[in-house]
Amino acid sequence: MKIITVASARPNFMKVAAILDEFDQRQEVEAQLLHTGQHYDYEMSKIFFDELGVPEPDFHLGVGSGSHAEQTAKVMTAFEEVLHTEQPDWVIVVGDVNPTMACTIVANKMGIKVAHVEAGLRSFDRRMPEEINRVLTDSIADLLLTPSIDGNMNLIKEGVAEEKIRFVGNIMIDTLYNMRERADESTLLADLGLSAHEYGLVTLHRPSNVDDEVTFEQFVEVLEETATDLPLVWPVHPRSEKQAKAFGLWGRLETTGDLHLLDPVGYLDNVNMMHNARLVLTDSGGIQEETTALGVPCLTARENTERPITITEGTNTLVGTDQEVILDCIQKLLQDGTPSNREALPKPLYWDGNTAERIADTMLGME
């Protein structure tokens, strides 16, 4: 079975790492990796491949960034050429970025089967570009591999045939568990003079949070106030740094005591910081899942989440963008203290590190 697996944004790399490793152990699979090139600078892309042991891509489209339409068009045009040449049996797409949707459309129109890893997630907010990508991808993919049982329910409600749906679990957790011991070797916290459970980790980059000056300034005020009680570490996404400078907020961030502004970090450093954080403030999707697996309190600065299981069966709390609500939640967590043995907390079903094996078994069983 010839399979092309598509990777684009950084979270994709964590997902494809475990899948490719599993395929490498299956003699009946010829696996190829295609990198669309959505994140084009070294820190945001290549270091993840190096640390995760992901092989050099067989194909690199190099589409870079751009508007949604521009990026989608570039991916579709370049991917079509690859499929014409390679004629794979399956294309695997992961997550919800623009290339996920674009590659699915191209393969579908060429009669090549598509498997969507992380299918069925819904925020029910069509203002989010990722939600459009999820819905469109799931509507035409041939195999929908869901990370949690609510994904199955969402797809069935949308009229997707049940025989296309397979509940396989969360692929992100495979890589997280595989890399935990290596992540423990990170010296980043020691270099920053920080101790376990005595700092907070921040990741903010969504356009809805950093492209609006008023909203961004409110987050800056949250960080300024929180840093008086709890040291904070923020590996700053290039988009966030660009907007902070444009809004005249960068100087305030740089002069906030006990706020450590970092360049983007690699996967292992990030896992180590997440694992040892007292709490995490984020607007990322994947971090909601990883903190649940690690038992770390997570405050998600969004009005909705496509991963509600991280709230009902995990450590996640939606706090929106109201600074008073965020500050109140932070103070409550600080007052509650750090629970012992956080990783022993119950996890959602199939968040066990064996999802890649279930994916491979499922796909090979459909020959």
288-315 residue pLDDT tens: 999 999 999 999 999 999 999 999 999 9
Q: What is the per-residue pLDDT for 120?
A: 98
Fold equal for 2-169+350-364 and 187-344: yes
Q: What share of the chain is helix, strand, coil (3-state, %, to 5)?
A: 50, 15, 35
Q: Which CATH architecture does the domain made up of 2-169+350-364 adopt?
A: 3-Layer(aba) Sandwich (3.40)
**The sheet that has 298-300: what strands, in order across it?**
259-262, 232-235, 200-203, 279-282, 298-300, 316-318
**Mean pLDDT for the stretch of residues 167-176:** 97
Domain spans in the chain, listed from the N-terminal domain onward: 2-169+350-364, 187-344
pLDDT at 284 exceeding the cut of 70: yes
Average pLDDT, the chain: 94
Residue 43 confidence (pLDDT) above 60: no
Contacts of 316 (CB under 8 A, 6+ apart): 288, 291, 292, 298, 299, 300, 305, 307, 310
Q: What is the pLDDT of residue 9?
A: 77
Q: Does residue 33 surpass a pLDDT of 80?
A: yes
Q: What is the CA radius of gyration of the chain?
A: 20
How would residue 45 be classed by pLDDT, with cut points 50, 70 and 90?
low
Give the model's confidence band at 47: pLDDT under 50 very low, under 70 low, under 90 confident, else very high.
confident
DSSP for 27-58, please give it: TT-EEEEEE--SS-STTTTHHHHHHHTPPPPS
The closest alpha carbon to 107, from 66, 140, 132, belongs to: 140
Residue of 35, 116, 205, 275 marked catalytic? 205
For the chain, helix (H) and strand (E) counts, in that order, are 17, 13
Helix (H/G/I), strand (E/B), else coil: 298: strand
Dig out the tokens for 215 from the structure: 């909203």
Is residue 41 pLDDT above 60, yes or no? no
CATH class of segment(s) 187-344: alpha beta
The mean per-residue pLDDT over the stretch 176-203 comes to: 96
- As a whole number of angstroms, the distance between CA 168 and CA 117 comes to 9
Task: Please report which confidence band the pLDDT of residue 39 belongs to, taking 50, 70 and 90 as the band edges.
Answer: low
Which residue did the predictor score with more confidence, 137 or 50?
137
Q: Tens of pLDDT along 72-112?
A: 999 999 999 999 999 999 999 999 999 999 999 999 999 99
| 45-53: long-range contacts, CB 8 A cutoff, minimum separation 24 | 45/10, 45/13, 47/266, 47/267, 48/10, 48/13, 48/14, 48/266, 48/267, 49/13, 50/266, 51/179, 51/182, 51/266, 51/267, 51/268, 52/13, 52/14, 52/17, 52/175, 52/179, 52/267, 53/17, 53/21
Percent of the chain topping pLDDT 90: 84
Mean pLDDT for the stretch of residues 65-70:
84
- Residue 143 is predicted with a pLDDT of 98
pLDDT at 344: 83
To the query of whether residue 35 is one of the catalytic residues in this protein, the response is no
Cα-Cα-Cα-Cα dihedral sign, residues 26, 51, 307, 90: negative
Q: Which residues make beta-bridge pairs with 291? A: none
